[in-house]
Structure 1
Amino acid sequence: MQCLNNLLLNTDSYKASHWLQYPPDTDGTFFYIESRGGLYDRTVFFGLQSILKEYLSKPVTEADIVEARELFAAHGEPFNEEGWRYIVQRHGGLLPLRIRAVPEGAVVPTHQALVTIESTDPQAYWVPSYIETLLLRLWYPVTVATTSWHAKQTLRQFLERTSDDPEGQLPFKLHDFGARGVSSAESAALGGAAHLVNFLGTDTVSGLLAARAYYHEPMAGYSIPAAEHSTITSWGREREVEAYRNMLRRFGKPGAILAVVSDSYDIYHAIREHWGRTLREDVIASGATLVVRPDSGDPVDVVHQCLSLLDEAFGHTVNGKGYKVLNHVRVIQGDGINPSSIRAILERATSYGYATDNLAFGMGGALLQRLDRDTQKFALKCSAARVDGQWIDVYKDPVTDKGKASKRGRMRLLRHREYGHFKTVPVPADAASVQDSPLPAGYEDAMLTVWEDGRLLQDWSFAQVRARADAARL
């Protein structure tokens, strides 16, 4: 939205007064972002590059300052007009910050620093705090990528157990159905791209655009022709079979895949009579793979029944691992899908001898919207300030909630070269810089400087991000 393009107004109201609240003679601050636990014990880091490119690469202008000054005056907040004008005049409107972070796609345990933000100009020590609101929105793409990644681990486990081609099958096993269920186009873009870190299937076009715009990926995901209820029910119940016949006629080509929602009236009747008898020979002759989509009822029971009925109609082969693979047909379940229901459906199907090859899943609201900042307990906190020329620890430790205790001092994230484990370590108060402080034996720096004084120093491709996420295993 054009009215939201002013970086100075991309903050919380109370941030406008914070430059007046630090101790006298403060000339530096240091902040960090972490997941303080949550639903999953590790997170997939993704999305910072999109935020940096979209928001911090555009210089603050005199017009931005005037607009912010007038708005905050009417709003009842003080405004650091002099400080922002200094940034425009001294730094060309680009924020004097150093941002260090783990590489995008890295899978990192919770309770570790993922990003650090520090001021680089003594007269702009207050800037890291001002952009907290913007940077902490990183929680969203990280949490979506994390949810998707954990679902991928579940799917991989079942494929390795039941499929002859687990890695070939895996990229298309979870499809993003979430675009209509999110709060904004930006959410669809960031969340959709976050899912594509792990999979290749999506119907969220905005996610493709984000991967292209921010991560140099020409085409991050793929889809197939698929029916919705309106395109089936517009034929009427009496002509339901003709709706299905039309789908085969339009899209049923050798080697093609088409998905047809089939529960508009009676999913079991549709499989037994329409697909399994009237159209059976047409399906086979088309050379296409028909993907039947149920969209109502208990997902575990309905998917199991659909597999059994399709097996009766089209038969199966037995793969090298002893599991049944249906001929000509598959099932995609997109209703009621979340990481828990995926596991439950696969457990039922596997127990009845069906390979995971037979199934795909579509996840919508549970993938892109049924989450919040507390899903992984994300926080951005100040951990150090330089006052009177000395770095001091800044932290909170509330007696009422020890889970909200924050880290202290300047810090860096390290990774053990041999064993791969991570740990966040403090930097000595007298160290000239975080990145140049000594490393313990056996460890390497797990963070890189990605942004400094308006310059993007690391520009990851989507392929690089995907490779890092895929290399990690539970």
Structure 2
Amino acid sequence: MRNLILNTDSYKTSHFLQYPADTRFISSYIESRGGAYPETVFFGLQAFLKEYLSRPITTADIDEADTLCRAHGVPFNRTGWEYIRDAYQGYLPIEIEAAPEGTVVPTGNVLAQVVNTDPNCAWLSSYIETALLRAVWYPTTVATRARACRGIIKGVMSQTSDSLDGLDFKLHDFGARGTSSEETAALGGMAHLLSFAGTDNLSAIVAARRYYQADMAGFSIPAAEHSTMTSWGRDHEAAAYANMLEQFGGEGRMVAVVSDSYDLWNAIDNLWGDTLREQVIHNGGTLVVRPDSGEPVAIVPEVIERLMARFGFTTNRKGYRVLPPFVRVIQGDGINTDSIAAILAAMTARGLSADNIAFGMGAELLQKLNRDTQKFAMKASAIQVGEQWRDIYKDPITDPGKRSKRGRLALIRDGDRFSTVRAEALAGRTNELRTVFRNGDLINTVDWPTVCQRARA
């Protein structure tokens, strides 16, 4: 699946025969036209450039694509690909400009732009749409969703907590098993880590290290699952819990234990809160109780208040109740952007600080979204035929929302405000689009701390 020539839609293979005669250059751009969130966190392009565009096209790739396309019933531009192999050692003769990764850009603005650098390869700019758009829309949409969750949690912490300490660990990535592929898990998991530092997604950790030079992009703790707890049998549930404290307790350490395999309320009231109470208090670290069933908006506040009944609480400077530092709660079942807000609202109404809770999100974070979530599109906007550049655009009367931009584009910034202008209208202003790829070379690469700093600004 690493043949870049075949990383496209079938109909793209015929487009080299469809442009006007003497077409020399075509410029295309990517934007989020709107959607669930009013702004996006641009992310993921560098991973694509390193993984896919840094590998040259080979004769074997050309032969495979030629054979497949002929059998598939579509034309194949063998002459064009052999030219790229011979003239550019197999690297694509294109230039890609993009907003700095991690930048928060309002929808309706250009995020990336691509143009061929060789007049013999004008067909190439749109040929890579499938691969390039997919490389951008997915991680950008996940990063945008994670940032929205961070904003919700931060807002409630500002109201109910004495500080924002711990905000980075308030939403944990539980989504690796719910994605369609490991690459999806890696890209989406990295996008989540722009806003939070907690994850169980090891593919994301590997990807952040490989593509963005992250020493360590996220962290986790020992945690139980139902199989490890139920393997002890129902009559030995307390022993299973005690083993977790013995194995993973200790000064400054945290351990999460799923506690609803049988009877959540018995686990809290009688096992954690009675049989193991002294061990919980004196283990030196923090027990994180995880309910994993029921209606979260009702379950979470009751879990916290039952734990308070057994272990006590303090009242912070803002008047909200907080569990002692040796016990906390994480809710991972039924979590999405809306349920986070609803749970925190229910807690606030009952005088419970957001300090008591962390969340885990799975498929809602990494899988339950699509290209239309933020209405992503890649469109050609300018063409040079002969010596003349001219605009190209679509303007469908049946859907004005799909009207595309015209001309070669630039992204400008005035303070925190962004806008898209024609490149020739820059008038000395800085173009925020930076060249990141040209003819096989990666330019203006970015490291992990820089991307995170932009996303959390």
TM-score of the superposed pair, with normalisation by structure 1: 0.95
Q: Of the candidates 330, 333, 336, which is equivalent to residue 335 of structure 1?
A: 333
User: Secondary structure in 2 aligned to 1:374?
Assistant: helix
- Pick the aligned partner of 2:358 from 357, 360, 365: 360
Say which SS state the counterpart of residue 68 (structure 1) adopts: helix
Amino acid at match of 2:88: H
SS of 1:235 mapped into structure 2: coil
Question: 5 Å matches for 1:345-424?
Answer: 345-416=343-414, 419-424=415-420
Structure 1: distance between partners of 2:121 and 2:431: 27
The alpha carbon displacement at 1:380 in A equals 0.5
Superposition pairs for residues 167-182 of structure 1, below 5 Å? 168-182=165-179
Q: Classify the secondary structure of the residue corresponding to 1:141.
A: helix
Q: What is the alpha-carbon distance in structure 1 between the residues aligned to residue 387 and residue 257 of structure 2?
A: 68
**Cα offset, 1:155, TM superposition:** 0.9
- The Cα of 1:322 is off from its aligned counterpart by 2.0
Q: Which among 414, 423, 427 is matched to residue 439 of structure 1?
A: 427
2:453 counterpart of 1:457: no
Counterpart of 2:423 in structure 1 is: 427
Q: Which 10-residue stretch deviates more, 277-286 or 443-452?
A: 443-452
Shift of 1:321: 2.0
Report the Cα offset of residue 412 of structure 1: 0.7
Q: Secondary structure at the match of 2:456?
A: helix
SS in 1 for 2:351: coil
> Which one-letter code corresponds to 2:343 in the other structure?
I
SS of 2:396's equivalent? coil
Task: Say whether the 8 Å CA contact 2:410–2:426 is kept in structure 1.
Answer: no
- Work out the CA distance in 1 between the residues paired with 2:157 and 2:96: 39
Counterpart of 1:27 in structure 2 is: 24
Matched AA of 1:374: D
Task: Give the letter aligned to residue 364 of structure 1.
Answer: G
Which whole-Å deviations, capped at 9, do the CAs of 1:160-198 have from their partners, x for residues lacking one? 1122220x2111000000000000010011011111111
The residue type paired with residue 235 of structure 1 is W
Give the Cα separation in 2 of the matches to 1:402 and 1:301: 43
Letter in 2 for 1:425: V
Q: Quick one: which amino acid aligns to residue 467 of structure 1? A: Q
Alignment partner of 1:235 out of 217, 223, 232: 232
Measured against aligned partners, the alpha-carbon deviations of 1:218-267 in whole angstroms (never above 9, x if no partner) come to: 21110001000111111111211111111111111121111000111111
Name the amino acid aligned to 1:329. Answer: V
Q: Does the CA-based 8 Å contact 2:382-2:392 persist in structure 1?
A: yes
The one-letter amino acid of 1:336's match is: G
Q: Which amino acid aligns with 2:416?
A: G
Match of 1:275 among 264, 272, 276: 272
Tell me what 2:79 maps to: 82
- 1:271-290 deviation per Cα after TM superposition (whole angstroms, max 9, x unaligned): 00111111111101111211
Partner of 2:329: helix, strand, or coil? strand
* Distance apart, 1:388 and its partner CA: 2.4
The worse-fitting range, judged by mean Cα deviation, of 40-49 and 349-358 is 349-358
Measured after TM superposition, the shift of residue 9 of structure 1 is: 0.8
How far off its partner does 1:470 sit? 0.8
Q: 2:158 is matched with which residue?
A: 160
Instruction: Look up the equivalent residue of 2:444 and give its one-letter code.
Output: Q
Q: Which position in structure 1 is the counterpart of 2:311?
A: 314
SS of the residue 2:360 aligns to:
strand
Give the AA of the match of 2:455.
A
How far apart, CA to CA, are the structure 2 residues paired with 1:19 and 1:415?
A: 36
- Aligned to 1:114, the other structure's residue is in SS state strand
User: In 2, distance between residues paired with 1:388 and 1:248?
Assistant: 74
Residue 49 of structure 1: which of 39, 46, 50 is its match?
Answer: 46
Distance in 1 (alpha carbons) for counterparts of 2:3 and 2:157: 48
2:99 equivalent in structure 1: 102
Alignment partner, residue 284 of structure 1: 281
C-alpha separation in 1, matches of 2:442 and 2:430: 22
What amino acid is aligned across from residue 400 of structure 1 in structure 2? T
Give the residue type in structure 2 aligned to 1:469. Answer: A
Displacement of 1:439? 2.7
User: Per-residue deviation at 1:14?
Assistant: 0.8
Matched, 1:10 2:7: yes
CA distance in 1, matches of 2:89, 2:185: 32
Q: Tell me how far apart the structure 2 counterparts of residues 379 and 21 of structure 1 sit (CA, whole Å).
A: 21
Secondary structure, counterpart of 2:199 in structure 1: coil
Tell me, in whole angstroms, the C-alpha distance in 1 between the residues paired with 2:341 and 2:181: 29
- Aligned-partner Cα distance in 2 for 1:318–1:129: 60
Corresponding letter in the other structure for 1:392: R
Q: How many residues align?
A: 455
Q: Aligned pair 1:59/2:47, yes or no? A: no
Q: What amino acid sits opposite 1:426 in the alignment?
A: R
If the length of structure 2 is used for normalisation, what is the TM-score?
0.98
Partner of 2:200: 203
1:394 is displaced (CA, Å) by 0.8
User: 2: CA distance between counterparts of 1:216 and 1:39?
Assistant: 31
Q: Which residue of 2 aligns with 1:145?
A: 143
1:310, distance to aligned residue in structure 2 (A):
0.3
Q: Distance in 1 between matches of 2:293 and 2:64?
A: 51
Q: CA deviation at 1:91?
A: 1.0
